[in-house]
């Protein structure tokens, strides 16, 4: 290995802990760290500082954005009006967040903008897009605390929910959160595979009891949505997967849940 005569600088150390050091420079820096305990201590300290900053700042990501900002993601001022589908989707997103923070204030007005009620599948796809795309904090409680997660969601939904085990399909549970659905609170479970593809399962009590189990599939803005309604529960599986993959996963989820004793207070 050729010797690199340049001394290790402050900029080298910063780039090193940030994973941005040029590959050509890495051997010289690593060698210097191995040789110099003071430098090694400094690197360790900066790494700790990085981790702590991440931890602290990431807590903010879990805060629900206010409705006015959700609306601002859709407004197209050049047109001076709300595009039809955007209006509907903002209504869905806004109603979710309003539900989280403020109750149902303003929800009906938003849903009826443009006279286009938000479809069930579009809302599901939006919830998926909002949380599954969040790299650092897609969930409120991580899978490491699965029991606590399930206990909490069950309490909030008013019936026993379970996070299906999709490891056999290559999808590990990331965690879950509570989101406000159109009518009833919704439990959201997030799964991820090795390719970092995310899959979400939404579970909630239907507005009115269903008399037959129905399976349906839709695509909303590139997000596949596969859902089925049971007497006491609605399940929605969403992901950027093709139809066949999603249906295969849906069958596994359905099979697992069908064997569980789901007790729902009437």
Q: Quickly count: other Cβ atoms within 10 Å of residue 106's Cβ.
A: 14
Restricted to residues 220-239, the positions that interact with other proteins (CB under 8 A) are: 221, 223
Question: Considering the complex, what minimum distance in angstroms separates the CB of residue 213 from other proteins?
Answer: 30
133 binds other proteins (CB under 8 A): yes
- DSSP reduced 3-state for 145: helix
Ramachandran sector of residue 123 (left: φ over 0; alpha: ψ -120 to 50; beta: rest): alpha
Question: Considering the complex, what minimum distance in angstroms separates the CB of residue 116 from other proteins?
Answer: 15
Residue holding tokens 């400094």? 42
**13 or 201: whose CB is closer to other proteins?**
13
86 binds other proteins (CB under 8 A): yes
Restricted to residues 89-108, the positions that interact with other proteins (CB under 8 A) are: 89-90, 93
Name 213's Cβ contacts closer than 8 Å, sequence gap at least 6: 228, 229, 230, 231
Name 164's Cβ contacts closer than 8 Å, sequence gap at least 6: 189, 201, 252, 253, 256, 257
Residue 237: name the closest of 102, 128, 101 by CA: 128
Judged by CB under 8 A, which stretch of 78-86, 102-110, 167-175, 225-233 contacts other proteins? 78-86
**76 or 231: whose CB is closer to other proteins?**
76
Question: Considering the complex, what minimum distance in angstroms separates the CB of residue 54 from other proteins?
Answer: 6
Q: Please say whether the beta carbons of 88 and 122 come within 8 A.
A: yes
Judged by CB under 8 A, which stretch of 72-80, 146-154, 166-174, 241-249 contacts other proteins? 72-80
Q: Please say whether the beta carbons of 89 and 76 come within 8 A.
A: no
11 binds other proteins (CB under 8 A): yes
Question: Considering the complex, what minimum distance in angstroms separates the CB of residue 176 from other proteins?
Answer: 15
Q: Is the dihedral of CA 150, 155, 156, 161 positive or negative?
A: positive
Q: What's the maximum distance between 2 C-alpha atoms anywhere in the chain? A: 77
Tell me the C-alpha distance between 123 and 88, whole Å: 9
Using CB under 8 A, which of 70, 88, 124, 149 touches other proteins?
Answer: 70
Restricted to residues 103-132, the positions that interact with other proteins (CB under 8 A) are: 126, 129-130
Using CB under 8 A, which of 74, 100, 172, 247 touches other proteins?
Answer: 74
41 binds other proteins (CB under 8 A): no
242 binds other proteins (CB under 8 A): no
Question: Considering the complex, what minimum distance in angstroms separates the CB of residue 145 from other proteins?
Answer: 11
**131 or 254: whose CB is closer to other proteins?**
131
Residue holding tokens 């990085």? 50
Tell me the C-alpha distance between 139 and 141, whole Å: 6
Tell me the C-alpha distance between 236 and 229, whole Å: 9
219 binds other proteins (CB under 8 A): no
Q: Provide the binding-site residues for other proteins, judged by CB under 8 A.
A: 10-11, 14-15, 18-20, 45-46, 48-63, 65-66, 68-70, 72-79, 83, 86, 89-90, 93, 126, 129-130, 133-134, 137, 140, 142, 221, 223
């Amino acid at each position: 290995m050729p010797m690199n005569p340049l001394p290790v600088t402050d900029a080298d150390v910063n780039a090193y802990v940030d994973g941005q050091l040029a590959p050509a420079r890495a051997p010289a820096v690593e060698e210097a760290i191995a040789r110099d305990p003071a430098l090694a201590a400094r690197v360790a300290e900066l790494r700790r500082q990085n981790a702590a900053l991440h931890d602290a700042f990431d807590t903010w990501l879990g805060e629900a954005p206010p409705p006015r900002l959700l609306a601002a993601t859709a407004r197209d001022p050049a047109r001076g009006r709300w595009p039809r589908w955007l209006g509907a989707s903002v209504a869905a997103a806004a109603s979710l967040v309003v539900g989280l923070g403020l109750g149902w204030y303003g929800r009906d007005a938003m849903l009826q903008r443009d006279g286009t009620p938000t479809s069930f599948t579009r809302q599901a796809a939006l919830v998926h897009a909002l949380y599954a795309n969040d790299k650092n904090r897609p969930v409120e409680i991580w899978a490491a605390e699965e029991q606590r997660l399930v206990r909490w969601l069950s309490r909030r939904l008013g019936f026993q929910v379970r996070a299906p085990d999709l490891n056999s399909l290559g999808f590990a549970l990331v965690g879950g959160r509570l989101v406000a659905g159109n009518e009833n609170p919704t439990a959201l479970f997030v799964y991820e595979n090795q390719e970092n593809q995310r899959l979400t399962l939404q579970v909630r009590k239907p507005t009115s009891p269903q008399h037959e189990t129905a399976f349906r599939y839709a695509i909303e803005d590139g997000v596949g949505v596969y859902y089925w309604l049971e007497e006491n529960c609605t399940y929605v599986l969403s992901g950027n997967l093709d139809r066949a993959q999603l249906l295969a996963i849906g069958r596994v989820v359905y099979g697992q849940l069908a064997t569980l004793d789901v007790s729902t207070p009437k």
